[in-house]
């Protein structure tokens, strides 16, 4: 055999058609050869492009669209309008929502005219565009007694690409690092999209030592004994905050990604309070924040030592009046956060969140908190009509 399998053999392995010897050989290389592992993962991400089944629906090719959106200059507005036209016809819940609002989809000429579906529909409906088999369901945080959002995923490969695409637009060193995760409460939710994302990133580099931290004491001991500086720590906001106020001036020169998650803790702390506490505990660290949620596949990140999130080539953010959720959105100003996520090809890409924030002229945005419960009663009434 050659030193490296051919691309054809890799495709054969992905299709589960290899004999035992070929399978053992390839799996050994995936585990022990970093360059081959990267090549294998790159090919696997695009395995769906070789499928022979028909993926087009009335001229909309989901496979080619998925390739297009990850290009640097993907003409976001044109992509969004094309995706809107597709989902307005083929997503039953979104179509019903638009009909209730008496929206003539042929008259939508700009992305600021697109109606945004209240994100709470993920709690009561299966949000799918067209018909397909579910590969994975991501569930939001919460107890078994709570109604939780459920995001049905058609292709985990698309989520993988979204994860790498989002991080690839930052200066976060996610390759060749020891990844540790401190995500209490998320461990009780094996269907968490955040847990899945961290696990996926760990799987991309098997040569490094990765681990999930279960307690403050374990995190403190890990950092106290850590020799390496190439450590990437994913931490949920409230857990990092609780750890940080108890430990000051740690010497670790690590990278930290604060992942949000305050709403599930039942506490109200500002982003500034959280950031200042983490900075005081880790004065030598590079600190980033990530903005994502169960209902979207894209993520937004801040720059190092910044509170301002950057929009990406697959995810744009808009605002509208908190008290008038049906008004057209704006690209600049304060209000309720609305998201267009081009990666939500198979669910719904146009979502009105429960977050408030502010968007600035340069496109960066802040998250201020949650919409007051009294301000969302209009959305709930609308949901009852559906």
Strand 136-139 relative to strand 150-153, pairing:
antiparallel
Q: How far is CA 187 from CA 142, 160, 198, 298, 378, in A?
A: 12, 20, 12, 22, 34
**With bands split at pLDDT 50, 70 and 90, how would you rate the model's confidence at 31?**
confident
Strand 300-302 relative to strand 60-61, pairing:
unpaired
Closest among 228, 216, 223, 269 to 250, alpha carbons compared: 223
Please say if the pLDDT value at position 372 is more than 90: no
Cα angle: 255, vertex 178, 306; to 5 degrees? 15
Please say if the pLDDT value at position 188 is more than 90: no
- One-letter-per-residue 3-state SS of the chain: CCCCCCHHHHHHHHCCCCCHHHHHHHHHHHHHCHHHHHHHHHHHHCHHHHCCCCCEECCEEHHHHHHHHCCCCCCHHHHHHHHHHHHHHHCHHHHHHHHHCCCCHHHCCCHHHCCCEECCHHHHCCCCCCCCCCCEEEECCCCCCCCCCEEEECCHHHHHHHHHHHHHCCCCCCCCCEEEEECCCHHHCCCCHHHHHHHHHHHCCCCCCCEEECCHHHHHHHHHHCCCCCEEEEECHHHHHHHHCCCCCCCCCCEEEECCCHHHHCCCCCHHHHHHHHHHHCCCCEEEEEECCCCCCCCEEECCCCCCEECCCCEEEEEECCCCCCCCCECCEEEEEEEEECCCCCCCCEEEEEEEEEECCCCCEEEEEECCHHHHHHHHHHHHHC
Locus of tokens 């579906």: 117
For 54-63, 225-234, 329-338, which range has the lowest pLDDT when averaged over its residues? 54-63
Phi, psi of 316 (to 5 degrees): -115, 150
For 24-33, 156-165, 243-252, 280-289, which range has the lowest pLDDT when averaged over its residues? 24-33
Q: What is the mean pLDDT of residues 25-43?
A: 82
pLDDT, tens digit, for every residue of 104-136? 999 999 999 999 999 999 999 999 999 999 999
Q: At what angle do helices 76-90 and 62-69 cross, to 10 degrees?
A: 150
Q: Which residues contact 363 (CB under 8 A, 6 or more apart)?
A: 310, 311
Share of the chain above pLDDT 90, in %: 66
* Residue 315 burial (CB count, 10 A): 27
pLDDT, tens digit, for every residue of 140-181? 987 656 789 999 999 999 999 999 999 999 999 888 899 999
Q: What is the mean pLDDT of the chain?
A: 88
Q: What is the mean pLDDT of residues 273-292?
A: 95
* Residue 231 burial (CB count, 10 A): 22
**Predicted pLDDT of residue 9:** 81
**Predicted pLDDT of residue 332:** 96
**With bands split at pLDDT 50, 70 and 90, how would you rate the model's confidence at 221?**
very high
Spatial contact of 342 and 114, defined as CB atoms under 8 Å apart: no
For 132-141, 227-236, 359-368, which range has the lowest pLDDT when averaged over its residues? 227-236
Q: What is the mean pLDDT of residues 74-85?
A: 96
Please say if the pLDDT value at position 46 is more than 60: no
Spatial contact of 98 and 111, defined as CB atoms under 8 Å apart: no
**Predicted pLDDT of residue 33:** 85
Q: What is the mean pLDDT of residues 245-266?
A: 83
Please say if the pLDDT value at position 41 is more than 80: no
**Predicted pLDDT of residue 52:** 34
User: For the whole model, what pTM was predicted?
Assistant: 0.81
For 4-13, 202-211, 245-254, 346-355, which range has the lowest pLDDT when averaged over its residues? 4-13
**With bands split at pLDDT 50, 70 and 90, how would you rate the model's confidence at 293?**
very high
Cα angle: 336, vertex 125, 111; to 5 degrees? 40
Q: Determine the Cα–Cα distance for residues 76 and 237; give it in Å rounded to an integer.
A: 31
Spatial contact of 119 and 338, defined as CB atoms under 8 Å apart: no
**With bands split at pLDDT 50, 70 and 90, how would you rate the model's confidence at 12?**
confident
């Amino acid at each position: 055999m050659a030193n490296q399998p051919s691309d054809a053999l890799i495709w054969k392995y992905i299709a589960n058609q290899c004999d035992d010897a070929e399978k053992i050989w390839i799996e050994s290389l995936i585990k022990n050869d970093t360059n081959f592992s990267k090549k294998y993962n790159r090919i696997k991400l695009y395995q769906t492009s070789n499928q022979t089944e028909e993926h087009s629906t009335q001229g909309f090719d989901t496979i080619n669209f998925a390739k297009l959106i990850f290009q640097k200059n993907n003409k976001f507005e044109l992509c969004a309008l094309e995706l809107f036209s597709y989902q307005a016809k083929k997503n039953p819940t979104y179509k019903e929502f638009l009909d209730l609002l008496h929206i003539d989809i042929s008259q939508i000429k700009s992305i600021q005219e697109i109606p945004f579906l209240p994100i709470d529909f993920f709690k009561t409906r299966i949000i799918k565009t067209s018909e397909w088999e579910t590969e994975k369901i991501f569930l939001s945080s919460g107890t078994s007694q709570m109604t939780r959002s459920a995001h049905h995923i058609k292709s985990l490969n698309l989520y993988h690409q979204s994860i790498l695409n989002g991080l690839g637009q930052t200066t976060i060193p996610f390759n060749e690092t020891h990844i540790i995760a401190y995500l209490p409460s998320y461990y009780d939710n094996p269907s968490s999209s955040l847990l899945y994302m961290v696990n996926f990133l760990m799987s991309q580099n098997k040569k490094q030592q990765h681990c999930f931290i279960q307690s403050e004491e374990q995190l403190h001991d890990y950092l106290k004994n850590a020799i390496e500086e190439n450590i990437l720590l994913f931490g949920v906001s409230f857990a990092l905050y609780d750890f940080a106020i108890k430990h000051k001036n740690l010497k670790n020169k690590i990278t930290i990604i604060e992942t949000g998650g305050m709403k599930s803790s039942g506490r109200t702390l500002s982003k500034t309070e959280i950031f200042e506490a983490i900075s005081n505990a880790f004065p030598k660290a590079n600190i980033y924040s990530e903005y994502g949620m169960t209902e979207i596949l894209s993520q937004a990140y801040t720059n190092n030592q910044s509170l301002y999130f950057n929009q990406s080539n697959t995810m744009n953010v808009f605002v509208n009046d908190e008290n008038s959720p049906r008004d057209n959105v704006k690209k600049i100003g304060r209000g309720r956060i609305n998201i267009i996520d081009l990666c939500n090809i198979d669910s719904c890409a146009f979502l009105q969140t429960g977050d408030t924030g502010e968007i600035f002229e340069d496109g960066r945005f802040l998250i201020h908190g949650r919409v007051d419960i009294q301000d969302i009663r209009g959305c709930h009434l609308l949901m009852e009509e559906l």
